[in-house]
Amino acid sequence: MPIETQITTCSEHYQMWKDKALLTSDIYESKKALERAFFWMELRSAFIFLRAVEQTRTDSETKEKLIKAKLNLSKKLSEYLKERIKEI
């Protein structure tokens, strides 16, 4: 998946959870929604940073580090999804 698509997806999820947090009157539900919104905002920020590095650095060492960073972000997303599935 292109990094631009990942950034867009993260932005959409962030906006959705932020809106839910602001619209709910239940404090517990609002807290859960805010935690999820912050997760997506953090992930989006990481992808934006990686895209900036990709565009400015083209040496092989940097490319290898970018692959490792993307792998770590994928693992983080996988852990997040596992937690959501357990909640269901």
More confident residue, 84 or 13: 13
Q: Yes or no: say if 34 and 50 are a contact pair by the CB < 8 Å rule.
A: no
Q: CA torsion angle for 70, 73, 79, 84 (degrees, to 10)?
A: -120
Reported as a pLDDT band with limits 50, 70 and 90, residue 33 is very high
Q: What is the pTM of this model?
A: 0.85
List all residues 6 or more positions away from 3 whose beta carbon is below 8 Å from its beta carbon: 47, 50, 51, 54
Reported as a pLDDT band with limits 50, 70 and 90, residue 88 is confident
CA distances to 30, 37, 39, 47, 66 from 52, rounded to whole Å, are 33, 23, 20, 9, 11
pLDDT score, position 2: 85
From 9, 85, 15, 82, select the one nearest 46 (Cα to Cα).
Answer: 9
